[in-house]
Amino acid sequence: MRILVTGAAGMIGRKLGARLAADGAIAGRPIETGHLVDIAAPEPPAGGRFATLCEALDVAEPSAAAKVIAARPDVVFHLAAVVSGEAETDFDKGYAVNLDATRALFEAIRHERDRSGGVYRPRLIYASSVAVFGAPFPETIDDDFLAAPLTSYGAQKAMVELLIADYSRRGLFDGVALRLPTIVVRPGPANRAASGFFSSIIREPLSGREAILPMPDTTPLWCASPRAAVGFFVHAATLDLNRLGPRRSLTMPGFSTTVGEQIEALRRVGGDAAVRRIRRQSDESSARIVSGWPGRFAPRRALALGFSADSSFDEIVRVYLEDDHVPAVA
Amino acid sequence: MRILVTGAAGMIGRKLGARLAADGAIAGRPIETGHLVDIAAPEPPAGGRFATLCEALDVAEPSAAAKVIAARPDVVFHLAAVVSGEAETDFDKGYAVNLDATRALFEAIRHERDRSGGVYRPRLIYASSVAVFGAPFPETIDDDFLAAPLTSYGAQKAMVELLIADYSRRGLFDGVALRLPTIVVRPGPANRAASGFFSSIIREPLSGREAILPMPDTTPLWCASPRAAVGFFVHAATLDLNRLGPRRSLTMPGFSTTVGEQIEALRRVGGDAAVRRIRRQSDESSARIVSGWPGRFAPRRALALGFSADSSFDEIVRVYLEDDHVPAVA
């Protein structure tokens, strides 16, 4: 089978590429070729047992969608996106990439399907987000709760979810939108996303560096590890999507915690010395953004379909230590 | 103030134009000019006390949006749409008109706002629909229930709702999406919408003609009269929309009934003779479409904001007799 990953140089994209390279197959069907694209060319995953084409491609370019679909990939993992902060500050870019380029990809599939005489109908797996939800929330958000985003990023993700349901209902492709929790612990240098501190307060102290915590200990968090997130995509690639019926958006499982509980998990691994590297410094603008985030879901449909995530924050920290931790240089 | 109505030659658009012409003002502010557009030029409403420009304009034309926004209307009533049946059979046309042309209108407002130095910020009132919902439903659908449409028309309406919330949150216009119930009793010749029989089983027998009923008596219906629908738009034009907060889609009030109760209301007005003009003829395809429609809502937000609808199906029939009934020619 042929696979395509957009956004393949991003944090999840890289890990997904590595996992697929290691597996070499999806649901027992060998992967023959992998096409990995991103705005800058992704690194080829180590140890891949199939031919991999890594390409720099701006999905917002008019010809990009036709180019990646021409080879008729059987599974399309669509992760490319402008992140939430940038989609908020650059209105045009957010809609151009997150909505228009995604729709162009869907249209390219529809037209390739027409050219194939109705035979081509790939599986499409989309990285959506709990950003489709906006406050006020009930204590626990169930699968029937409305999408009322409070960012342009969330609005764009929710619009694409509607497209995925409509294209799937019409049989143009077989799609699913995975609403990812906040992914922690993110490796690499701290980024400037409002949610970045949820990762940096674990990652930085464990590497002997200071981290800034702009929010109180009571701040809720719905989270999953990067390894769990990759697992969602792989599971979605193997699942019989007819079991979803017409509702093609699934809130992924996660673990509900708080900043205070995160800090206690850090203490268990790194001791008081690690916790002392967290510097509290309240930040009005982060507080405003994060207060609109949901803390607890009941993702019954995804659980019934076999999606699974980390079962504790300790496990999430352990996954970070195993997969991504860079020890402090003495 | 200046008003713009798109889809002004449609059933609701004509009645809205007539109501605005009769009122001559919105919330005490006199209407100075009215711009009524539709794919065919609308008739000027009788007795208008302000200058009215009635124009044939295809909103899907590239220049159409800039053209209607150049005069900086204070209130935009956006009713133009490809109806549900046509959006289902013509994929491209449905998305082109219901999504792209609507977004072009919103972008024209944003760019006109830029040209005005941020001063221009019209009110935008959008005709959405309970078609944004799709089965399975709880017994009563509340304001937090998800939009999971089962038609392309519903998907397009739900996507525009997300745009309206995002543009409003960013202060680009002050928008609201009114989710209209099924509007009965529609005047004029029977149309081929799957929901058409809800109107024709009242309208046709009262004019001495036969009507075909493709559905059982237990079929549920959430409905409002055309007069109530016009009232929704006028009320939305006067309301302080800040009261809505960031959630800019409102399920409009309606009356929950069944086909059987409709028939009894017909009997009270037209007697057994009228009821005998209903011919039962089951139709699988209508049955499939209508079985996906919701029958009962709890539109608490709209009611709290002062929206009101008909309080019985007898009232809906009376409104039809007063506003639109064409007696049988003996």
Q: Give me the numbers of helices (H) and strands (E) for chain A, helices first please.
A: 12, 16
- Give the N- to C-terminal CA distance of chain B in Å, as an integer: 47
* Residues with Cβ within 8 Å of residue A128, at least 6 apart in sequence: A157, A158, A160, A161, A177, A178, A179, A180, A249
Topology of A2-180+226-251 in CATH? Rossmann fold (3.40.50)
Nearest residue of A to residue B162 by CA position? A155
Does A155 sit within 8 Å of B158, measured CB to CB?
Answer: no
Whether residue A146 and residue B148 make contact (CB cut-off 8 A), yes or no, is no
Query: Active-site residue B153, yes or no?
Result: yes
Residue A109's nearest CA partner among A78, A140, A154 is A78
pLDDT for A85 = 85
**Phi and psi (nearest 5°) for B185?**
-90, 120
Coil, strand or helix at B267: helix
Q: Which pLDDT value is given to residue A282?
A: 86
Residue A209 phi/psi, 5-degree rounding, is -110, 160
Reported ipTM:
0.96
> 3-state DSSP call for residue A47?
coil
Which one of the listed residues B120, B126, B153, B320 is annotated catalytic? B153
Q: Residue A125 and residue A38: Cα distance in Å, rounded? A: 16
**Nearest residue to B168 (alpha-carbon basis) of B244, B274, B231:** B244
Residue range B63-110, pLDDT digits in tens: 999 999 999 999 999 999 998 889 999 999 999 999 999 999 999 999
pLDDT, position B8 = 97
The residue in chain B having the minimum alpha-carbon distance to the alpha carbon of residue A143 is B146
Query: What is the rounded CA–CA span in Å between residue A133 and residue A294?
Result: 7
Chain centroid to Cα A122, Å, comes to 20
Q: In this complex, which of B146, B150, B159 lies closest to A146 when CB atoms are compared?
A: B146
How much is the CA Rg of chain B, to the nearest whole Å?
A: 20
Residues in chain B predicted with pLDDT less than 50, given as ranges, are none
Report how far residue A292's alpha carbon sits from residue A271's, in angstroms, rounded to the nearest whole number. Answer: 32
Q: Which of B87, B85, B158, B175 is nearest to B123 (CA)?
A: B175
From the DSSP assignment, how many helices (H) and strands (E) are in chain B? 12, 14
Predicted pLDDT of residue A285:
72
Are A246 and B134 in contact (CB < 8 Å)?
yes
> pLDDT tens, B297-325?
999 999 999 999 999 999 999 999 999 99
| Residue extents of the structural domains in chain A | 2-180+226-251
Shortest Cα distance from B85 to chain A (angstroms)? 14
Q: Do A169 and B146 touch (CB under 8 A)?
A: no
**pLDDT at position A191:** 65
The encoded tokens of residue A87 equal 């989609």
Residue A145: its chain B contacts at CB < 8 A?
144, 146
Residue B16 CA to residue B20 CA, distance in Å, equals: 6
Residues B304, B212: contact at Cβ < 8 Å? no
Could you tell me if A176 and A251 are in contact, meaning their C-beta atoms sit under 8 angstroms apart? Answer: no
With an 8 Å Cβ cutoff, the interface of chain A facing chain B consists of 91, 134, 138, 143-150, 152, 155, 158-159, 162-163, 165-166, 169-170, 246-247
Pairwise CB contact (< 8 Å): B162 & A144: no
Residue of B nearest to A172 (CA): B91
Nearest CA in chain B to A167: B152
User: CB A158 to CB B162 under 8 A?
Assistant: yes
Calculate how close chain B gets to A219, using CA atoms only, in Å.
Answer: 22
Contacts of A150 in chain B (CB under 8 A): 169, 246
Question: Which of B150, B155, B165 faces A148 most closely, judged by CB atoms?
Answer: B165
**DSSP secondary structure letters along B13-46:** HHHHHHHHHHH-EETTEEP-EEEEEESSPPPPPT
Nearest by CB to residue A246, choosing from B145, B150, B170, is: B150
Amino acid at B216: P
Token pair in block for residue A199 = 């990762």
* Chain A residues within 8 A of B152 when measuring between CB atoms: 166, 170
Instruction: For the beta carbon of residue B279, count every other beta carbon within 10 angstroms.
Output: 12
**Which entry of A120, A126, A153, A320 is annotated as an active-site residue?**
A153
What is residue B170's predicted lDDT score, i.e. its pLDDT?
97
Give the residues of chain A that fall short of pLDDT 70.
Answer: 190-192, 289, 330
- The CATH class that applies to domain B2-181+225-251 reads alpha beta
CB pair distance less than 8 Å for A150 and B246 = yes
Residues, chain A? 330
